[in-house]
Chain A
Amino acid sequence: MRAEAVRAGPAAAIERRPASRTSTLYLFAVPATLLFVVFIAYPILWVAGQSLYVRSGSGASSFAGFANYVTVLGDPTFWIVVRNMLLWGVITIPVQMLIGGVLAYFIERHTHALRGFFRTMFFLPVVTSVSVISLVWVQIYAPYYGIAQEYLKHVGFVMMTSPIGDPKMAIYALIIVNIWQWTGFSMLMYIAGIANLPSEVLDAARVDGARGWRLAVHVIVPMLAPATKSLLLLGVIGTLQTFPIVHLMTGGGPNRASEVFGTFIFKQSFVLGDTGSGAALSVIVLVVALALSLLQIVTLGARLTPAGKERP
């Protein structure tokens, strides 16, 4: 975010008007502010406050300090969730970037007539309802009648049960579904980045003898850094809000092995009705998200927009 105020000019002239009319100009900002206050800020403050209270059996709540946090952090499931979220982020984000980036490179630089076709087809999983996707993949993974096991058998990969029914494999099986659904998004962000590369730089690199692999790795990849940073930032937030795929495919099981923050919060808050620890969990996720985002913005200069090139 740049300092806007220093840039004066014609626009500043619009501002110079009688005070009575200036105040009506604030109406432009009121709706967004109201939505933010009522549906974002207030709920966050409420959940932060609620995380400090416990509800007794009779329904009355009493102040409990950090008791909810102690309970949550002492719950072994919490640490399974942390491990799963780490795996999720560490696998999903780079794999999506890699596949998405390679697809974007070949589609953008080596196709012409079919460019729109490829861009659209690889993006379709993103626009397909996640609940539909989840049920289709349950069927794919299923033993006996699912196609994954049937076809993997031919390449010597034999499974006895559904991978989502196996505590060791469940989280990886879910990660594959997530990667499949969102790679098209990474691809499109990189396509935007590649299409906006300044042609002078590419021409200069070509004159210097960089082509093919070397052009891609030494010139294009570094120049796509803004898109990569945005994808990293969006990937971290996306990881923390993972819910539908896990909820629909394993429900966090078997035996809580594939539990993620979303399903854990859902269970504590809406299945068990324990709003205290649900609130504490919500706050933890929120703090982790804000901390990781700020860390990236400060250290990498990442942006919160989908991709990006440096502005002049």
Chain B
Amino acid sequence: MTPLARSRLRSTVIHMVLFIVLGFWMIPQVYMLSIGLRTPAQAFDAALFTWPVTFDNFVTVIRDNPLGGIFLNSLIVTVATVAIVVAVSSLFAFACAILRLKGSLFLYTTLLTTLMVPLASMVLPLAILLKNFGWVNTYIGLILPYAALGVPFAMVILKSFLEDAPRELFEAARVDGCNAWQTYWHVALPLVRPALVFVTIWQFIVTWNEFFLALIVLTKAEMKTLTIVPMQYSGLYMANPGALFAVLTLIALPLILLYVLVQRAFVRGLLAGAVKG
């Protein structure tokens, strides 16, 4: 066999194996969709695929449930959290990496410890704090704790990017008479764009899917976010798996679609060095 033929064969085999592994990997998602597309008669069949398929379940669950409102709750909490995290962490990273404020390194190190704090140990004190603030069942009651937990990670990445940026640019901005705020806005932020994109997407995913704190803070039906409603539906549609899995598919879909749309920018940010220490 010529080397070229051999490398082509190897590539074909590797692709085939990857496709087979992926096929197995996708079983839970395929299964979810498949049950959602079943008639009541087939719903309890122990098979990955059944035929024929029907969209009745999707029609039923969209008609019967306020999914739009729940989606909007998730969107409000997530977008606000992401905006706060990006703004606050980039300001802080700028203070550490470019302004080199006295004491900022100490603050940076202190904030870093947040990354080692498991949310499980914060849920009880945060629940009490939010109760004292009267913030149970409010958007702000989730947004600010999420932001506080998200800032340290974003700050590490943005600081590392800023430190790698050419220092002459900041010097030039100063010579041209930019004050610190102008330098931040016109020089620093555009320089770290891939990192900002990466941080935005990651924070979006994490916030959208956060479960523990949302479960504690949001008890009123009209405030609930998408991640905490599936439990209710599993009770509601206990005898009707078709409808349950249709609603689960609809709940999972927005973030999956969003990720597929932005994955290129996300991975680019990761490869560009969002991964540095």
The chain A residues found within 8 Å of chain B, CB to CB, are 1, 4-5, 9-15, 21-22, 25-26, 28-29, 31-33, 35-36, 38-40, 42-44, 46-47, 50, 103, 106-107, 110-111, 114, 116, 118-140, 144-147, 149-150, 180, 188-189, 191-193, 195-196, 226-227, 237, 240-244, 247-248, 261-262, 265-266, 269-270, 275, 278-279, 281-283, 285-286, 289-290, 293-294, 303-311
Contacts and interface: CB of A to CB of B under 8 A. Distances in A.
Interface in B201-260: 205, 208-209, 211-212, 215-216, 226-231, 234, 241, 244-245, 248, 251-252, 255-256, 258-260
* B contact face: mostly helix, strand, loop, or mixed: helix
Contacts of A226: 277
A147 B48 contact: yes
B118 A240 contact: yes
A262 to B, nearest CB: 4
Contacts of A25: 95, 99, 101, 180
DSSP class of A's interface residues: helix, strand, loop or mixed?
helix
B273 to A, nearest CB: 8
- Residue among B94, B125, B234 having the largest count of chain A Cβ atoms under 10 Å: B125
**Which among B26, B248, B275 has the greatest number of chain A C-beta atoms within 10 A?**
B275
B248 A35 contact: no
Contacts of B245: 136, 139
B256 A103 contact: no
A146 B171 contact: no
A44 B125 CA distance: 7
A265 B216 CA distance: 12
A282 B121 contact: yes
Contacts of A130: 209, 211, 227
Contact of B209 (A13, A124, A127, A243): A127
B71 to A, nearest CB: 12
B89 A32 contact: yes
Given A47-B125, A128-B256, A38 B148 contact: yes
B212 A29 contact: no
Nearest to B26: A121
Nearest to A121: B22
A125 B96 CA distance: 35
A199 to B, nearest CB: 14
Contacts of A4: 96, 100, 105
Q: Which 9 A-B pairs have the closest CB atoms?
A: A43-B125, A10-B171, A39-B148, A241-B118, A28-B95, A150-B46, A32-B92, A303-B277, A35-B148
A135 B88 contact: no
Given A25-B99, A308-B276, A14 B29 contact: no
25 contacts: A1-B112, A10-B168, A14-B170, A29-B96, A31-B88, A32-B155, A33-B92, A36-B152, A40-B148, A111-B18, A116-B263, A123-B259, A131-B228, A144-B46, A180-B25, A189-B275, A191-B267, A191-B270, A195-B271, A243-B119, A243-B120, A269-B127, A285-B121, A286-B117, A290-B113
B251 A129 contact: yes
B149 interface: yes
B91 interface: yes
A286 B118 contact: yes
B158 to A, nearest CB: 11
Given A11-B167, A103-B21, A124-B259, A32 B151 contact: yes
A135 B234 contact: yes
A28 B88 CA distance: 8
B193 to A, nearest CB: 18
A116 to B, nearest CB: 7
Contacts of A285: 118, 120-121
A35 B170 contact: no
A33 B110 CA distance: 9
A40 B149 contact: yes
B114 interface: yes
Contacts of A138: 234
B139 to A, nearest CB: 15
Nearest to A31: B88
A126 B124 contact: no
Contacts of A119: 263, 267
B4 to A, nearest CB: 15
B98 interface: yes
A120 B263 contact: yes
Given A29-B107, A282-B125, A128 B252 contact: yes
Interface in B101-152: 101, 104-105, 107-129, 144-145, 147-149, 151-152
B124 A269 contact: yes
A4 B255 CA distance: 39
Interface centre among A150, A306, A310 (most CB of B within 10 A): A306
A78 B179 CA distance: 56
B44 interface: yes
Given A11-B171, A147-B27, A285-B120, 11 more contacts: A14-B98, A42-B129, A124-B26, A139-B241, A147-B48, A180-B25, A195-B271, A241-B119, A286-B121, A308-B276, A309-B275
